[in-house]
Amino acid sequence: MLYFCIVELTLVNWMYNISLQQFLDLFVGAIDGAQRSQVVKDRVDNIKGELTRLVYRYINRGIFERDKVTFKLMVALKILIKDGKLTSSDINVFLKAGAGIDDRNNKYSSWMSLKVWLNIVALSKHKFGNDHTFFYKELPERIGRLEKEWKAFFDKNTPEAEGEVIPDYQEKIDADVNIGTFLHLCLIRAVREDRTLLAAQRFIKDTLGEYYAAPVVDKTEDIWAESLPNKPILYLLSAGADPTNSIEEFARKKRQSPTEKVSMGEEQEGPALEKIKAGFQTGKWVVLNNCHLSLEFMAQMEDILNPKGVVVHEDFRLWITCEPHP
């Protein structure tokens, strides 16, 4: 399931392709790293937990900030589907809400837009989970009975936050241990689409755990630990970011400072290739900056780093920095 989450992530951005071998490395790492147990079920649960953690950190490191919640949301939703708690139609109602509904009888048009009204109608008509429960069947009428409370909830700055009470539904949502957090997410998405991202982060924390909601910092040392002489480290830069200093600082710890640096551009392919080949012999680290200016050279990198008949020093590493490019 985790593997297919990764595969489907390429529909968000083609650049997120990874190989089956990369995933298998994570899979084997999870088996090796998971806590041991004599009870088979516990051992399997430990491996699943470790693999989920490894996949999350690995993928989170390699995607743009704007797509990180999307990936975690995909994982959380697919786990609930796999466990038989949600259906694909539940996901559709979350994604599309009232987009396919035609009902212009908006009873609360004085304070509610037609789009929100259609979202509410869609929720009231949907059967949630494998139990096919009309959880929000009476939602349009209940809003009418407590219109003052619903309008106040609608106008809140942070309606998705913990501690904020959903009128007439909070206890019922809390009582559903299987999909209560998803029901909450769907309601926020329906009435306050602008708060969906924050509601999704709360849903992820409730479903996957606190670890998946906490801020992530990837240390240079951790990234280096996964590299190999023929497995370079690539930094895709955002505006104002420059990892050169952190690379050099880490190189000092590994007695690799100063690193061999080349700022790529016109006629810099030759010097870069010379430093890489020298590094094969000496084990020195090479840093190639601004590699978006030498895309043809980058296309040859797999062949360059896997030379036939050449023994490459085990300490050699290649660090690449570049800006996003079409």
pLDDT digits (tens, 9 = 90+) for 187-218: 999 999 999 999 999 999 999 999 999 888 88
Among 49, 23, 25, residue whose Cα is nearest residue 35: 49
Percent of the chain at pLDDT above 70? 100
DSSP 128: B
Which pLDDT band holds residue 226 (cuts at 50, 70, 90)? confident
* CA 13 centroid distance within chain: 12
Which pLDDT band holds residue 15 (cuts at 50, 70, 90)? confident
* Range 96-119 average pLDDT: 88
Which pLDDT band holds residue 238 (cuts at 50, 70, 90)? confident
**Residue 196 near residue 188 (C-beta atoms within 8 A):** yes
Map out the domains of the chain with their CATH numbers: 2-63 (no CATH), 88-211 (no CATH), 220-322 (3.40.50.300)
Percent of the chain at pLDDT above 90? 78
pLDDT of residue 153: 94
pLDDT of residue 103: 82
pLDDT, one tens digit per residue, over 279-320 is 999 999 999 999 999 999 999 999 999 999 899 999 999 999
Q: Give bridge partners of residue 10 from the DSSP assignment.
A: none
79-84, Cβ contacts within 8 angstroms, sequence gap of 24 or more: 79/1, 79/207, 79/208, 80/179, 80/182, 80/207, 82/1, 84/130
What is the model's pTM? Answer: 0.84
Radius of gyration of the chain (CA): 25
Task: Indicate whether 240 pLDDT > 90.
Answer: no
